[in-house]
Amino acid sequence: MELPDAAVRFDWACAVPDGGLYRKAGLVEFLKHRAPERFHELVIPTGGSRGRRTGRALLALMRFALATRARSILFFYPALPLFHPPAGRKLPALAIWLATVRRALARRGVKIVLDVEDLPAAQHLTLTGRPHPAGDGVLARAERWLSRFADEVWLPSEALADRWRQVSAAPGRQVRVVPTGAPAQLPAAPPGPGQGVRFLCAASLYGAHDRGVSWLLERFTEGAAPSARLLLAGPGGEWIPGRYPRERVEWVGALDRSELESLAVGADWGLVPYPERGYFHLAFPAKLALYTSCGLPVLTTAARTAAEAVRAAGVGRVSPADSWARTLGELSLAGRPARVECPWLWQQVLG
């Protein structure tokens, strides 16, 4: 399969542990490494008024397509300059932008590949960060327009691809499942002297957008052995220190990818504490690739996509949510587990 020879990214401020940014960075890094002499990347600033950034993005994109003579350009959703509409009035601007870009690139014979990291209408989220964000109906209309934009769509899981086909206004477009990958398999770090089992959870830790972290803390303190330690990495964890003994639970902050990998290779288990109902059934967690590339076996709840991936690859254990306290206790007493081989390296995912 011919891979894109160019990519366009919009410079949204975001912490690296975010799964979407981890996926974007990994995809671009892999494509650059695969064809460094012909791969081009355009990063477009996102500051300024909506009208200004829209026009600037369109002009920069047209110049980029002309200068690079790209045959295929990769875009990322939802990180587009007009996404995050807090009201329906922004949808016409999004539709016009998408239609203009598609028409201009089609005239030059450029194929548009769209990587969809998340599907907000299916998540019942808006991702706007506003007190009164757009509703699901608004987002669904935006996604239908978006489905007409790309010639090929990449999605991280089969469940997400199924949902995309349901909302798509252009079902004839090619859809590919491209699980989130990792750049390389990393060697394990030796355990420290007298060190108990170390569990790592890399996640967004904001209290207002809990991804199972509060639930995980309750299960860990209830069931894990006193010698076990839980490391939490990610933004928004300021509420954690002081609530638990530091020798048992530690928030290490928001780390970049290299720092996160350095932490992970010294841990023993990677945790995916997703709720078993809701949109986590759809998403392929970026943390699966992160953990296994560092050799960590994964403990996940029965959330559909994570559980299916862990079972199929044989890289860990699936434990229903109501058994996690007991499971964490068993694992913390069993000692350091065998390392695993990452089944989601980018060269395996994309060939």
**Is 187 inside any structural domain?**
no
Helix (H/G/I), strand (E/B), else coil: 45: coil
pLDDT band at 165 (very low <50, low <70, confident <90, very high): confident
CB-CB contact of 230 with 199 (8 Å): yes
Using the 3D structure, point to which of 114, 148, 177 is the last residue of a domain.
Answer: 177
Q: Kindly state whether residues 221 and 128 are assigned to the same domain.
A: no
Q: Kindly state whether residues 148 and 238 are assigned to the same domain.
A: no
Which tens digits make up the pLDDT trace of 292-321? 999 999 999 999 999 999 999 999 999 999
To the nearest whole number, what is the mean pLDDT of the chain?
84
- Report the alpha-carbon distance of residue 244 to residue 213 in Å, rounded: 13
Q: Which domain holds residue 77?
A: 6-177
How many CB atoms neighbour CB 184 within 10 A? 10
What pLDDT does residue 47 have?
65
Using the 3D structure, point to which of 148, 177, 206 is the last residue of a domain.
Answer: 177
What pLDDT does residue 64 have?
84
CB-CB contact of 135 with 126 (8 Å): yes
What pLDDT does residue 298 have?
98
- Report the alpha-carbon distance of residue 281 to residue 116 in Å, rounded: 16
**Is 163 inside any structural domain?**
yes
Long-range CB contacts (< 8 A, 24+ apart) of 35-41? 35/3, 35/5, 38/5, 39/5, 39/6, 39/7, 40/5, 40/6, 40/7, 40/64, 40/68, 40/70, 41/6, 41/7, 41/8, 41/9
Q: Kindly state whether residues 11 and 81 are assigned to the same domain.
A: yes
Which tens digits make up the pLDDT trace of 117-150? 877 666 554 444 444 556 667 777 777 888 888 9
Task: Report strand pairing: 269-272 vs 249-253.
Answer: unpaired
Closest by CA position to 234, among listed 209, 266, 269 = 209
Biggest alpha carbon–alpha carbon distance for the chain: 65
Output the CA–CA distances (angstroms, integers) from residue 311 to 276, 301, 318, in the order listed: 16, 11, 7
Q: Kindly state whether residues 76 and 222 are assigned to the same domain.
A: no
- Report the alpha-carbon distance of residue 194 to residue 207 in Å, rounded: 33
**Helix ranges, the chain (H):** 19-34, 50-68, 91-107, 120-123, 136-147, 158-167, 213-223, 257-264, 286-293, 304-313, 324-333, 346-350
Euclidean distance between the first and the last CA atom of the chain, given in angstroms as a whole number? 8
**Is 351 inside any structural domain?**
no
Record the tokens describing residue 340, joined without a space. 């695993």
Q: Kindly state whether residues 169 and 213 are assigned to the same domain.
A: no
**Is 13 inside any structural domain?**
yes
**Its pTM surpasses 0.85:** yes
- Report the alpha-carbon distance of residue 298 to residue 340 in Å, rounded: 9
What pLDDT does residue 74 have?
94
Q: How many domains does the chain have?
A: 2
* 276 vs 344, residue with greater confidence: 344
Q: Kindly state whether residues 229 and 318 are assigned to the same domain.
A: yes
| The pLDDT of residue 256 is above 60 | yes
Q: Kindly state whether residues 338 and 225 are assigned to the same domain.
A: yes
Output the CA–CA distances (angstroms, integers) from residue 165 to 119, 123, 134, 158, 170, in the order listed: 12, 15, 22, 11, 8
What pLDDT does residue 121 have?
66
**Angle 125-127-128 from CA coordinates, rounded to 5°:** 125
- Report the alpha-carbon distance of residue 276 to residue 316 in Å, rounded: 17
Q: Kindly state whether residues 148 and 275 are assigned to the same domain.
A: no
**Is 189 inside any structural domain?**
no
Half-sphere exposure of 341 (CA within 13 A, CB side): 3
**Is 339 inside any structural domain?**
yes
**Is 152 inside any structural domain?**
yes
**Angle 135-141-147 from CA coordinates, rounded to 5°:** 135
Q: Is 312 left (phi over 0), alpha (psi -120 to 50) or beta?
A: alpha
Which tens digits make up the pLDDT trace of 61-98? 888 877 878 899 999 887 665 544 444 456 677 777 78
What pLDDT does residue 94 have?
72
| The pLDDT of residue 153 is above 70 | yes
CB-CB contact of 279 with 304 (8 Å): no
- Report the alpha-carbon distance of residue 33 to residue 109 in Å, rounded: 25
Residue 148 phi, psi (nearest 5): -80, -15
Which tens digits make up the pLDDT trace of 193-208? 668 999 999 988 887 5
78 prior amide bond cis, ω within 30: yes
Q: Kindly state whether residues 108 and 246 are assigned to the same domain.
A: no
**Is 66 inside any structural domain?**
yes
Q: Kindly state whether residues 212 and 172 are assigned to the same domain.
A: no
Using the 3D structure, point to which of 177, 210, 230 is the last residue of a domain.
Answer: 177
Which tens digits make up the pLDDT trace of 262-281? 999 999 999 999 988 877 78
Residue 299 phi, psi (nearest 5): -110, 120
CATH of the domain at 212: 3.40.50.2000
What pLDDT does residue 81 have?
57
| The pLDDT of residue 36 is above 90 | no
pLDDT band at 48 (very low <50, low <70, confident <90, very high): low
Q: Kindly state whether residues 299 and 202 are assigned to the same domain.
A: yes
Q: Kindly state whether residues 204 and 315 are assigned to the same domain.
A: yes
Record the tokens describing residue 101, joined without a space. 């870009």
